[in-house]
Amino acid sequence: MGYQKTLFIKARLTFDCLSVSDACLDIMPQKSRSVFSRIIGNTGILITGRVLNAVCSFVYVAWTSQTLGLNLFGVMLLITTFATLISDITRFQSWQTLLHYGSKAFQEKDFNQFDDVLAFCIRADFFSAAIGMLVGLGGILILGTSRLGWPAEVKPDALLCMLIILFMNIGWSTGMLRLCNRFKLVTIYEFITTCVRTGGCGIGYWLHMPLGYFLFIWCLTQFTLFVTCSYAGIYLFHQYTERAFPIRKIFQRKTPVEGMWKFTLSVSFNEILDSIFQQGGTLAIGSSLGAGEAAVYRVARQISNGLSKPAQMMIPTLYPEFIRFRDKGDWHGMRLVTLKIFGLILGFSLLVFFLTVLVGERLFTYMLHYSWPGEKTILVLLVCSALFDICLVPIEPLLTVMKRISFVLKARTAIIGCYFVFLYGMMRVAGINGAALSSVISSFLMLIICAIPVVKWFTRLSENDEGQS
C-alpha cells in the first residue's frame, strides 16, 4: 500500500503541475487561452485514465515477475517487445491522416469526402496489421530463438503471440476520438483493458501459471483494446454524422486526396524510427547481455516513461488544435500556445526528476522483486532521456503542421544510426549503464536538432510583429 500511496501522491503533484492560474492565462489572447485550456483539460482527462493504468502496471508487473522469476520474465518481455516493435514498424499512423485530410470535411459536414478519407484510413490499418503479423511470424521462423536471446522451448508460444499483431492497429478509431474531442472515451476503454490485464495477472500469480499463460493475457489485453476502441470509433461516427458506417467504401481501392499516401508514409516512418529507438534497445540488450539484463533495462525504462507519461499525453491533444490553427492561418496563436506548453513541460520535468530521486529505487525493487546494483544510476539516466523526449512534445506536431516532416525524418534517421553505434560501443564498456547513457545522448541530440527550425520560425514571427508595429 505504501507504493500505491506514493503513486497517488505523484498523480496529485502532476495535476498541480498541469493546473494553470487565471493570472497566467490573462496574458494570452482569448482564442489562444481557450485553446490552451482545452489542451490542458483534454490532457488531464487522459492522465486520469493513465494514473489508474500506472498504478495497476506496478501491480501486475510485480505479480508476473515474482511468478516467473527474473530470467523467464525477461524472456516474456523480449517476446512482447518483439511483437510490439513489429507492430509499430509496420503500422501506418492513420489517425494523423484522418485529422490532416478529414478535419475540414468533418467540420463542414462534407461527409461524402470524409467517408472516403475514413475508409482509406481503415484500409491502411488492416493492410499494415496483416503485413505486421506475417513479418512477426517470419522473423521468428527465420531468425530463430537463439539470435533473439530466447530459449528454444518458447518458440511455439512466441509464434502464437505474433498472431495478435493483426489486432494491434487502432489508428482510424483513435483518430475519430481525437477528431470529435471525446477524450473521455479513452479513459473508459483503457480502464477495461487495464482490468483485463490486472485480473488475468492476478489469477496467474495466485495459481503460479507458466509463461504461456501470461503471454495469453498480454494478447487478450491487446485484443480487448482493439474491440473497445473500434466500437468507440463506430459509435462516434453514428453519433456525429447520423449515418450508416461506410462499410462498402472500405473495400474500394481509392485514394480520395492526392498526396495522402505520401503523407501517411512520412508520418508513419517517423513513428517507426521512434519505435526502433524505444524498443530496439531492449532487444539489443537481450541478445547481447541476456534476458535478465533486458528485464532490468525494460522495467527501468517503464518507470521512467511512466513518470514522464503525463506530459506525453499532450501529443494527442496538441495535434488536432494545431490542425485548427493551420486551417485558420492563426500562426501567432499557435506560437503562443507552443511557448506556454513548453514552459509547462520544463516545470514538469523538474518534478519528474525529483520523484525519480525520491521513489525510483523503491519502485524498481518492488516491480522486479529484485535489487540490481547501480539501479539508481540506470533510472536517472533513462529519466533524463525521457525528459529530453517530452521536450519534443510540442515541437514534432508543430513541425508536422509546418510541412517539415521530411526534416524530422532525416534528423531521426541520423540519430537512430548514431544511437545503435553508441549502444553497442557503450554496452561493451559499461553494460546496461552504457545502454542508458547512449539513450540520453541520442535524445538530447534529437531535441537540439528539431528545436533549431522552430526557434528560427518563432524569431521570424517576432521580427514581423515588430516590423508591423
- Please report where in the chains the cell 521530411 appears, as a residue: 406
Q: What per-residue confidence (pLDDT) applies to 409?
A: 81
Give the up-direction half-sphere exposure of residue 311: CA atoms within 13 A in the CB hemisphere.
Answer: 28
- Integer Cα distance of 111 and 95 in angstroms: 17
160 — pLDDT class (breaks 50, 70, 90): very high
Question: How does pLDDT run across 172-230, given as a tens digit for each residue?
Answer: 998 888 888 777 777 788 888 888 999 999 999 999 999 999 999 999 999 999 999 99
Average pLDDT of the residues of the chain: 78
Residues 382-404 have a mean pLDDT of 80
Q: What per-residue confidence (pLDDT) applies to 216?
A: 95
For every residue of 217-281, DSSP letters joined together read: HHHHHHHHHHHHHHHHHHHHHHHHH-S---HHHHTS---SSTTHHHHHHHHHHHHHHHHHHHHHH
Q: What per-residue confidence (pLDDT) applies to 41?
A: 65
Q: What per-residue confidence (pLDDT) applies to 244?
A: 79
Considering 47-61, 370-384, 444-458, the range whose residues carry the highest mean pLDDT is: 444-458
26 — pLDDT class (breaks 50, 70, 90): very low
Q: What per-residue confidence (pLDDT) applies to 228?
A: 92
419 — pLDDT class (breaks 50, 70, 90): confident
Does 469 or 151 have the greater pLDDT score? 151
Question: How does pLDDT run across 427-439, given as a tens digit for each residue?
Answer: 888 888 888 888 8
Residue 116 has pLDDT above 60, yes or no: yes
Residues 236-252 have a mean pLDDT of 82
- Integer Cα distance of 25 and 4 in angstroms: 34
The residue type at 356: T
Q: What per-residue confidence (pLDDT) applies to 350?
A: 79
Which residues, in sequence order, are CB contacts of 311 under 8 Å at separation 6+? 345, 348, 349, 390, 393
Question: How does pLDDT run across 330-386, given as a tens digit for each residue?
Answer: 777 778 877 877 787 778 777 777 777 777 667 666 666 666 666 777 888 888 888
Smallest CA-to-CA distance from 71 within 171, 166, 150, 181 is with 150
- Integer Cα distance of 268 and 409 in angstroms: 10
Contact 217, 204 (CB under 8 A): yes
375-390 vs 331-368: helix crossing angle, rounded to 10: 160
108 — pLDDT class (breaks 50, 70, 90): confident
Q: What per-residue confidence (pLDDT) applies to 351?
A: 79
Residues 78-97 have a mean pLDDT of 87
Q: What per-residue confidence (pLDDT) applies to 416?
A: 84
Does 331 or 77 have the greater pLDDT score? 77
Q: What per-residue confidence (pLDDT) applies to 227?
A: 93
Which DSSP category does 151 fall into? -
Residue 253 has pLDDT above 80, yes or no: no
Q: What per-residue confidence (pLDDT) applies to 313?
A: 64
Does 323 or 126 have the greater pLDDT score? 126
- Integer Cα distance of 166 and 186 in angstroms: 21
Smallest CA-to-CA distance from 308 within 380, 364, 409 is with 380
- Integer Cα distance of 446 and 433 in angstroms: 20
